[in-house]
Amino acid sequence: MALTVTLLVSGCAAQQKSAVGPAKDGAAPGVTDTTVKVGGVLTKTSASGYSTKDAEIGAKARFERANAEGGVHGRKIEFVGAEDDGQDAAKGDTAAKKLVQKDQVFALVPVHAPNFGGAAFLEQQGVPWFGWATGPQWCGTRTGFGYNGCLAPKQGAGSQTWWGRQLADLLGGAEGKSVYVQTSDSSGSKYGGTTISQSFAAAGFQLVGVNSGLPAAAPPPDWLPYVNKIMTSDAGQAPDVVVSVIAGTKFNVGLYSALKRAGYKGVLTDATSYDAAILKDPASAQALEGVIAAPMFEPFESTAPEIARLKQDVEKVAPGAVLTQHMAIGYWSADIFLDMLNKTGKDLTREKFLATGNGDYLYENAGFGRIQYPKDHSEPNGCGALVKLVHGAFQVAKSMKCFDNVPLK
């Protein structure tokens, strides 16, 4: 075991050349006449309890339907499952190397890990990877394909406006309304605070505060300092909207419960609370009552045919499974991979696959909006929906819609 770990982590040139180079018969790694092998990296476990493990079910569901339909150009998807990075960058790097060097996968699908550490290795080796592009490691690459584009654009690149504009439409306009943004101290959360603040400003809201002092490792024992800042942020008054840019239900439940105890009556919104599994806990359901979640995919409650098909696919591989946001992320990441695979053609190599993905690639689907590469290597796809929790049940507040991005200031 020690020797295996040493070989995986050392990245010795001879080992990598042998592992990721063409097979003896000239075929691409992970590709045979009848199969394409893929595997993923997820944060299945973490100290805070945050988990993206359901993305594995979503990806498997989409791959199983593709296989039932005959595969892609005669090749079926051999899905080896997903590794757990434990929300640790070093473990994510090791997991990526294992999948490429030992398991010989063609691509990594899905990658759904906030602190994913394998990006540099995959970029160096020319290995495609697909998932939720929540951090800067996704941006500016030629191999990382976020189903929603790049959510951490650099200054001057396009930045999303859809969240602010969808909420402004829902509230009947943003004029005279204030917004406060709460993030954690993680790099991804802080950067998200910057882009999301601009989204609301672009929609006409008045930004009255951004707080990135919340520790990302675990919820604080006392929420009062954060609540006091929020409740007095708008010239001594509470803001009209509070946006939470925090990864983890425990954080949002704690923050929202404390705000409600303090008498907050405004709008609460975040990107992660759209999760039916949390409704099993009465305290969590009460804390999230009235919260407006902002998923970057069409909600499960939608009547769109694409969502009906997603539900059918998931039911076949995981009967009775509760639909979650992470499940949808895995599903749509796999869907884009399959579309790109189909457009590449039967003569499949990583080089040809990446040339397809980076050569004026466009794919539109009512399930997640649209994706364009190479443009969306450096900016988000600009699409999203809103869902509101009402009396313990989610309702579609605004269906999927795409908006033009604006340069990030």
E strands in 253-365: 267-270, 292-293, 361-365
Residue 197, SS3 per DSSP: helix
**pLDDT value at residue 240:** 98
pLDDT of residue 17: 36
Helix (H) or strand (E) holding 332: helix 325-344
pLDDT score recorded for residue 27: 65
Q: Which residues pair with 401 in a beta bridge?
A: 384
* Residue 320 φ then ψ, to 5°: 80, 0
The predicted pLDDT at position 279 comes to 84
Burial of residue 360 (number of CB atoms within 10 Å: 0-12, 13-18, 19+): exposed
pLDDT for position 316: 98
Sign of CA dihedral 8, 12, 14, 19: positive
User: 128 preceded by cis ω (within 30°)?
Assistant: no
Residues composing the chain: 409
Please tell me the predicted confidence (pLDDT) of residue 9: 35
**Secondary structure of residue 126 in the 3-state scheme:** coil
Distance CA 334, CA 331 (A): 5
What's the pLDDT at 373?
97
Positive or negative, the CA dihedral 366, 279, 185, 327 is: negative
* pLDDT at position 186: 85
Tokens of 120: 């540099």
User: What pLDDT does residue 21 have?
Assistant: 38
Q: What is the pLDDT of residue 248?
A: 75
Q: Which residue has the tokens 């919340």?
A: 214
267: tokens are: 């709008």
- Dist CA 60 CA 55 (whole Å): 9
Per-residue pLDDT of the chain (409 residues; tens, 9 = 90+): 343 333 333 333 333 333 333 333 456 899 999 999 999 999 999 987 889 999 999 999 999 999 999 999 999 999 999 999 999 999 999 999 999 999 999 999 999 998 999 999 999 999 999 999 988 899 999 999 999 999 889 889 999 999 999 999 999 999 999 999 999 998 778 888 988 999 999 999 999 999 999 998 889 999 999 999 999 999 999 999 999 998 778 899 999 999 999 999 999 999 888 888 788 889 899 999 999 999 999 999 999 999 999 999 999 999 999 999 899 999 999 999 999 999 999 999 999 999 999 999 999 999 999 999 999 999 999 999 999 999 999 999 999 999 999 999 8
The Cα 293–Cα 301 span in angstroms is: 13
Amino acid at 346: K
Q: What is the pTM of this model?
A: 0.86
Give the model's pLDDT for residue 18. 34
